[in-house]
A and B are shown apart, each in its own frame.
Chain A
Amino acid sequence: MKRVIALSAIVVLLHGSVPFAQTQNTPKRIPRAADGKPDLSGVWITGALALLIGDKEARAILEADRAAGRTLPPPEPAPYTAEAEARRQYYLSRRGVDDPMARCFISGVPRITTRPLPFQIIQMKDQVILLYEAHHAFRIVPTDGRTHPDDIEPSFLGDSVGRWDGDTLVVDVIGFNEKTWLAGVGTIHSDKLHVTERYTRDTADTIRYDVTMEDPVVFTRPWHEHEIFRLRPNERLREYECIENNEDLQRFEKLLQIDPALRAK
């Protein structure tokens, strides 16, 4: 009997100590799919972490990033033409009352991804599915080598096709309408917008997201945005039905009537 107890103790000790040693000394391995590509599947969050998970956890994550030397390039000003910049300034002067998002329109790419709501990636053999909590939005990204179809109707999220560049998933998006903004207030684009997204699972817990936005109508050169997605193993997508009780339309209409700063525009 004593021998059984001793053996059990050794087993418990071994089971307890091995994972501990792994987490302390070796980074977690990046999961890979059957075809050897990094598996991006999971629930992820980005953007304003604090809005989603609270100030304390957000601060801890950001400080850990700094301690690990993980930095992103500083935000790049949008390279608008003079005419497009004038339009952006107009929207800024109106304090964002024209934001399509405030009307519960589906955000486009990349804004849908960088909003402070989680999204889920489901990676399959020939396609990657992106599910967004915001607006129940989804994108289906074929990765079987096909190109964009020739009958694209302009849409909020555009048409996506993907390919692997080594360990990075590259998603090419075209076919947008002109009803979304790219990032903050006034970040307009035309229907000639071409977005290239690069998803790189650089650690087991993060994806590095590098976006290039090209638009010959509003930009003088490509515009870049960079983010870090955080894996949320215990998170699940919930419902976000924006139009349920959206008072902003009425409030903004009222503001336009009574606010001299807006009425003058």
Chain B
Amino acid sequence: MKRLPVVLCVLFSAVLATRAAAHHSFAAEYDGSQPLTVSGTVAKIEWTNPHIHFYVDVKDAAGAVTQWKFEGYPPNMLVRQGWKRDVTLKPGDVVTVFAWKARFDSALGAAREVTFADGQKLNAGPPAGTGGR
């Protein structure tokens, strides 16, 4: 019986994996084996189709700033999950982003979840998947 939740999770993940490609194959650009969590200040947001992009200035221990670019769901999917344009995410906001790194672009990621300053978490993009069903 203890195994049931695990089985459900596996089944649920399988369902997700089959349809992970909202617009294109995740694996084309991103590496599901390279998760990434960074915190920083939002610099810019492109609220556009087929993906939103947002840019986060991330400071390292030595004080050097790297601007990360993150890709997420299209606006319609975000709105349906509780996001509001110009309200939920604004330049100047401090956020933590969980993402997967791009294969070649050193400061590009596929955002999965954003944690806001008040602790609220919202999905920003699809789970890592191959899209290759």
Contacts and interface: CB of A to CB of B under 8 A. Distances in A.
Contacts of B46: 245
Interface string A99-130: 10110100000000011110000000000000
A38 B122 CA distance: 38
Contact of A62 (B15, B18, B103, B123): B15
Interface string B61-90: 000000000000110110111100000000
Contacts of B76: 117, 133, 238-240
Nearest to B74: A240
Contact of A242 (B23, B28, B53, B127): B23
A264 to B, nearest CB: 15
Contacts of A252: 28-29
Contact of A101 (B19, B24, B51): B24
A101 B21 contact: yes
Q: Chain B contact residues: over half helix, strand or loop, or mixed?
A: loop
Nearest to B79: A238
A95 interface: yes
A75 B28 contact: no
Given A242-B50, A255-B104, A48 B28 contact: no
Interface residues of A, number: 50
15 contacts: A51-B22, A55-B123, A63-B8, A95-B28, A95-B130, A101-B21, A114-B19, A117-B77, A235-B80, A239-B76, A242-B49, A248-B29, A252-B28, A255-B104, A258-B104
Nearest to B125: A51
A198 to B, nearest CB: 20
Nearest to B20: A48
B20 A259 contact: no
Nearest to B127: A50
B28 A183 contact: no
Interface of B: 8, 11-12, 15-16, 18-25, 27-29, 46, 48-51, 53, 73-74, 76-77, 79-82, 103-104, 123, 126-127, 130-133
A47 B80 CA distance: 15
Contacts of B81: 52-54
B103 A255 contact: yes
Contact of A259 (B11, B103, B123, B127): B103
Given A54-B123, A245-B48, A75 B23 contact: no
B61 to A, nearest CB: 30
User: Which of B25, B27, B82 has the most CB atoms of chain A within a 10 A radius of its CB?
Assistant: B25
A187 B18 CA distance: 13
A182 B23 CA distance: 14
Interface string A224-244: 000000000001001111111
